[in-house]
């Protein structure tokens, strides 16, 4: 078994693993939320590389598209919406005791799982699967077939879940008490031609107020 492991796959695993762990540590320990989000991208990308190394090409693609593309952009959008300074100031200092307890519990989780792995609890049973065998060269067909036959009910429930999530996001972001959005809440300063000229913008002569339709 060990002789079959090629050097390339070892190097790939090592680099992707270092990227994953480094990004995860960055998410936890960096203080600027934008840096946290970018570290999260590093971890997600490393996981995508590991998906490819295991032949899960379709999952690697949607990992990059959905996670690194959509979800992290959503994080960055909220960070920018709320303001980076405000978010950074919100990170309260923890007491050393709390930090120690958190680190110990996290390390305990890791050590526990590693012990279980090394103890051989994960040994495959040897039973044939009921969902169909893998075919990395034909990844999308195999996943699609399982998704729309055996797991079709779960797939339909997923569409319901997404609908509920969209409705929930709309309800949460509405103004309270159902009043309509007040556009005067976001006053727009009136720009004059002189202001634009100060900013280096030259839009030519101001349009006449009475334009023939």
CB atoms < 10 A from the CB of 148, how many? 10
Which of the 8 DSSP states describes residue 67? I
The number of residues that bind another protein (CB under 8 A) is 87
Can you say whether the dihedral through the CA atoms of 69, 161, 51, 114 is positive or negative? Answer: positive
3-state secondary structure (DSSP) of residue 58: helix
Binding-site member from 102, 192, 195, 197 for another protein (CB under 8 A): 102
The region of 129-137, 183-191, 196-204, 205-213 touching another protein under the rule CB under 8 A is 129-137
Count of residues making up the chain: 213
Q: Measured from the CB of residue 45, what is the shortest distance to another protein in angstroms? A: 11
Site string for another protein, 14-33 (x = CB under 8 A): ---x--xx--xx-xx----x
* CB nearer another protein, residue 180 or residue 207: 180
Q: Is residue 80 within the footprint of another protein (CB under 8 A)?
A: no
CB under 8 A: which stretch of 156-164, 178-186, 189-197, 201-209 binds another protein? 156-164
The interface region with another protein, picked from 150-158, 185-193, 195-203, 205-213 by CB under 8 A, is 150-158
> In this structure, what DSSP letter does residue 64 have?
I
Residues 87, 93, 94, CA angle at the centre, nearest 5°? Answer: 125
Identify the H or E element spanning 45. helix 33-53
Rounded to a whole number of angstroms, the minimum distance from the CB of residue 179 to another protein is 14
Under a CB-based contact definition with an 8 Å cutoff, are residues 139 and 55 in contact? yes
Which position among 15, 80, 154, 203 is part of the footprint of another protein (CB under 8 A)?
Answer: 154
Per-residue tokens: 50: 């590991």
32-71 footprint of another protein as x/- string (CB under 8 A): -x--xx--x--xx--x--xx-xxxx-xx--xx--xx--xx
Give the separation between CA 127 and CA 133, rounded to whole angstroms. 12
């Amino acid at each position: 078994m060990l002789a079959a492991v090629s050097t390339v796959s070892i190097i790939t695993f090592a680099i992707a693993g270092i990227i994953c762990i480094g990004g995860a540590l960055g998410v936890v320990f960096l203080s600027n939320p934008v840096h946290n989000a970018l570290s999260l991208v590093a971890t997600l990308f490393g996981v995508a590389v590991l998906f490819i190394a295991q032949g899960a090409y379709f999952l690697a693609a949607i990992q990059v598209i959905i996670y690194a593309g959509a979800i992290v952009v959503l994080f960055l959008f909220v960070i920018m919406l709320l303001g980076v300074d405000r978010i950074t100031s919100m990170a309260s200092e923890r007491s050393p005791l709390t930090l120690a307890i958190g680190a110990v519990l996290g390390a305990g989780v890791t050590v526990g799982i590693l012990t279980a792995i090394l103890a051989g609890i994960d040994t495959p049973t040897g039973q044939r699967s009921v969902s169909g065998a893998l075919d990395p060269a034909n990844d999308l067909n195999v996943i699609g077939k399982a998704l729309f036959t055996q797991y079709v009910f779960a797939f339909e429930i997923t569409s319901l879940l997404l609908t509920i999530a969209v409705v929930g996001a709309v309800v949460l972001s509405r103004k309270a008490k159902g009043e309509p959005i007040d556009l005067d809440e976001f006053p727009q300063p009136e720009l004059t031609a002189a202001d634009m000229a100060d900013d280096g913008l030259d839009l030519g002569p101001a349009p006449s107020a009475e334009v023939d339709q």
